[in-house]
Every structure is written in structure tokens, then in C-alpha cells.
């Protein structure tokens, strides 16, 4: 670490990744893919975000994971946004595979529902469900890759949908969101405030 001109700020050593030195807020989603034997693989991802204002979605993965190789082979994946009370599902989905590389046995306990447009499943009980066809994979972010998909079908639980005559703050109080605070913490977001948009602001 180096001293900074401001005594309250420390410059970080970039010889190592910086992201575990502080907390950042991220979504937490469950990405499902199809294994070669037909079973579903489900994995949690937090480096996940809409790609542009159009219907594209992307997340960071590594070629070492089955998520990457399954998407590369099948060309499709699904995304479930779990609710705060489903945090255990997200944790269990991160369990390692069996020693022989076969599917995670814990996934047999997951209740799933089938996707409609692509060959895949969702984790039941979530609030947003996306069906994606592979758009492109960008390798080379160190050991990681960016996987992007075009959303070909989307579904949302009615209690999560914004409607014109309802208050957004009340919606979030009744249907709070799950946030991942990297590294290794999570939060329930229910108390929110309107963002002070400046006049004339555009995307």
C-alpha cells in the first residue's frame, strides 16, 4: 500500500486483485445450463448485469466452470433472480461437484420449473426469470470471460412488477430484493429512496 495525498485514502497494490479489500454491491442470480447428460447445472453469479438498455444480459464466468462449457456447447442459458429468503439456494448452488466431475448432488433438492423458449430450467420461487440465447463470449479478462446472451423470453412474478399507479417504495417494501456484498456478505433491500434525477437527464 502507498500513501496518498489525502491522509484518509490509501492507494492499493495492483499486483493482486483489489476487490476483496472493500465491499461492493452486486445482484445475485442463478444461472442454469444443461449438462451433456441432460441434467441441469445451476450456479450463482454476482458479476451479472443487463448489457445495454436493450434485451441483453451478461455475466462473468471462467472457462474452467461447467457454466461456460455448457453455454458454449448448447448456445443457451437461463437466469433466475432469487428472493432474499432463497439465499440458501444461492449458497448451495456454489457447492463443488463430485470428485469425478459429475453434477452437484445438492441440485437434486432444488425445485425447478421449465423454461418455455430455450432448453433449460428456472429455480422456483424467484421473482425474475430470463431465457437467453448466447450472443457472444469475450475471453481474456485474466482467467475470466464475459458471457452475453440475447433475452428471447422474460417472465416476472406479479408482486415484483412496477405499475404506473403504484408507489415504487411500497413495492420494494413488500417484495424486497437480494443483494450480494462481495466478498461473502448479503443484504435485503427493502428501504429505498427516489433518486434525485436532474432535469433533462437522458440515457
Separation in Å, CA 116 to CA 46, 55, 121, 129, 153: 25, 17, 9, 11, 8
Please answer whether residues 15 and 169 qualify as being in contact, where contact means their C-beta atoms are separated by less than 8 angstroms. no
What 3-state DSSP class applies to 173?
A: helix
For residues 109-128, give the mean pLDDT. 95
pLDDT tens digits, 18-74? 999 999 999 999 999 999 999 999 999 999 999 999 999 999 999 999 999 999 999
Structural domain for 151, as ranges: 25-157+166-183
- 56: its cell numbers: 441483453
Q: Is residue 9 in some structural domain?
A: no
Provide the domain count of the chain: 1
The CATH number covering residue 103 comes to 2.30.110.10
- For residue 108, the SS3 value is helix
Q: Label residue 165 by pLDDT band (50, 70, 90).
A: confident
The pLDDT value recorded for residue 99 is: 56
Asked whether the predicted pLDDT for residue 98 surpasses 80, the reply is: no
Most distant CA pair in the chain, distance: 59
Q: What is the pLDDT of residue 130?
A: 98
> Which of 59, 56, 73 is CA-nearest to residue 145?
59
- Picking from 51, 78, 83, the residue whose alpha carbon sits closest to that of residue 67 is 78
Residues composing the chain: 203
Q: Are 19 and 26 in contact (CB under 8 A)?
A: no
Higher pLDDT, 100 or 118: 118
How much is the CA Rg of the chain, to the nearest whole Å? Answer: 19
In a domain? residue 194: no
Whether residue 100 is predicted with pLDDT greater than 70 in this model: the reply is no
* 82 found inside a domain: yes
Residue 135 lies in a domain: yes
3 within a domain of the structure (yes/no): no
**12 found inside a domain:** no
CB 137, CB 63: distance < 8 Å: no
Is 88 contained in some domain?
yes
Q: Say what the pTM is.
A: 0.92
Within-domain flag for 192: no
Is 90 exceeded by the pLDDT of residue 101? Answer: no
Q: Residue 115 corresponds to which cell in the numbers above?
A: 423454461
Residue 170: the pLDDT is 96
Check residue 97 and give its pLDDT.
67
Amino acid at each position: 500500500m502507498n500513501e496518498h495525498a489525502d491522509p484518509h485514502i490509501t492507494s492499493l497494490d495492483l499486483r493482486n486483485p483489489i476487490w476483496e479489500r472493500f465491499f461492493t454491491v452486486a445482484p445475485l442470480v442463478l444461472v442454469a445450463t444443461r449438462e451433456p447428460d441432460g441434467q441441469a447445472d445451476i450456479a450463482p453469479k454476482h458479476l451479472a448485469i443487463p448489457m445495454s438498455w436493450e434485451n441483453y444480459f451478461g455475466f462473468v464466468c471462467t472457462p474452467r466452470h461447467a457454466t461456460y462449457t455448457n453455454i458454449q456447447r448448447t448456445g443457451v442459458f437461463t437466469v433466475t433472480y432469487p428472493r432474499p429468503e432463497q439465499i440458501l439456494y444461492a449458497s448451495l448452488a456454489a457447492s463443488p461437484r463430485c470428485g469425478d466431475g459429475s453434477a452437484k448432488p445438492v441440485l437434486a433438492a432444488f425445485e425447478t420449473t421449465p423454461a418455455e423458449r430455450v432448453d433449460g430450467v428456472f429455480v422456483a420461487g424467484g421473482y425474475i426469470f430470463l431465457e437467453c440465447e448466447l450472443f457472444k463470449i469475450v475471453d481474456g479478462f485474466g482467467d475470466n470471460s464475459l458471457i452475453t446472451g440475447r433475452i428471447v423470453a422474460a417472465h416476472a412474478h406479479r408482486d415484483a412488477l412496477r405499475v404506473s399507479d403504484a408507489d415504487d417504495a411500497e413495492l420494494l417494501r413488500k417484495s424486497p430484493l437480494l443483494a450480494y456484498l462481495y466478498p461473502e456478505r448479503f443484504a435485503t433491500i427493502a428501504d429505498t429512496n427516489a433518486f434525485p434525477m436532474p432535469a433533462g437527464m437522458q440515457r
